[in-house]
A and B are shown apart, each in its own frame.
Chain A
């Protein structure tokens, strides 16, 4: 009479264990996703500084600066993942244009401010890349946990769904078009 109860208790314990492990993995995925935003925001915050520094030397490039400022505002008012991603991509393209423009102004290239900003922005791009890598690792971990053998049975019951990998959009894969 004791045995069935023990078996049931063991199964319940097992279920609890699986559930906790899946929830932990899922939370990690969520956090990793927010971390990407942290880095993106850092980049957005660096932009006004960059614009001011470059403006001092490249006074004729007004059009470019207006474009950057407009896109930055668009990014800050974007809602939803899709919109934000598109706005970010747009901003990346324009940022690359600014750096290409800077090539024409040797005074600007020599300025300490500009060099430090360029270094910071480049480092921020690295951080964004690493944050995305970590997000993908977390997603891989979570998806693997849902799909592998014992958990696969229960994942459906407990309503865990696969998470999505971060993928580069088609636009980002295109070669950079530098427009002045």
Chain B
């Protein structure tokens, strides 16, 4: 995360030196990105739930599930989230919400049907850990920074057209200019890669926190096995929400090259299971 901020600061510095402008357009880019992201951050839970076709359930609809969630919340010291169910036979789960007080946990019907009690506990503990570690808030901030990097690169490249001849051209400025162009082209991609890397790290962290909560990592390990071996993908998943689920809802080939692995929101399932079983 800190490296990300350093990265962003570097490109800002390079751009501003190259253009000889003040930092006002930097501020503008930050505000623009912020506005775009804050709306989605505040409504992220409603958006995701609507896009997935989830329905809220009350305690009487599924007391066992409610008790499981409630007990894990007691163990974690969290307030109780709202619980939603997606009517899809493919087992999966996600958690969203900007803080523990406004959190939501959602499971698919397939998850309830395919997994036994301990496995379900493992999955829900993982999701609650996302909430406890403020992962939604973190990814929201990261999204703002990525958007910022994209916008500012865009502004920089466009402003190159409008440079008049009446500016003093020092050698240092030209160097910064060239570096700036390279950065402007590469930084959106680099920012996205960093965002995905952060997402993968937080998944590992949620696995570990969840195992600490249940004191039984095998539950989550065997759940991940079952979920990843389910043949059909989730019906309502799309790219915008894929990173929230416990396993990437788009089923891809198991063997991935290192390069395409960089673009995964989740670490490979085999690695997650291996780490859990070695705890």
Contacts and interface: CB of A to CB of B under 8 A. Distances in A.
A138 B75 CA distance: 10
A32 interface: yes
Contact of B74 (A28, A134, A138): A134
A133 B77 contact: no
B215 A133 contact: yes
B67 A130 contact: no
A138 B74 CA distance: 12
Interface in B38-85: 67, 70-72, 74-77
B75 A134 contact: yes
Interface size class of B (residues with CB under 8 A): under 10
A37 interface: no
Nearest to B68: A126
A42 to B, nearest CB: 11
A107 interface: no
A134 B76 contact: yes
Nearest to A133: B75
A164 interface: no
A130 B71 CA distance: 6
Contacts of A133: 75, 215
Contacts of A131: 74-75
A127 interface: yes
Contacts of A172: none
A97 interface: no
Interface in A4-23: none
Nearest to B66: A123
Q: Which of B67, B76, B77 has the most CB of A within 10 A?
A: B77
Nearest to A132: B75
Interface string A148-167: 00000000000000000000
Contacts of A35: 74
A138 B77 contact: yes
Q: Which of B67, B71, B74, B76 has the most CB of A within 10 A?
A: B74
Nearest to A131: B74
A126 B70 CA distance: 10
Interface in A113-141: 123, 126-127, 130-131, 133-134, 137-138
A134 B71 contact: no
A28 B77 CA distance: 9
Interface in A29-49: 32, 35, 39
Interface of B: 67, 70-72, 74-77, 215
8 contacts: A28-B77, A35-B74, A39-B74, A123-B67, A127-B70, A130-B72, A134-B75, A138-B77
List 10 tightest A-B contacts by C-beta distance, closest first.
Answer: A130-B75, A130-B74, A130-B71, A133-B75, A123-B67, A126-B71, A134-B77, A134-B75, A131-B74, A127-B71
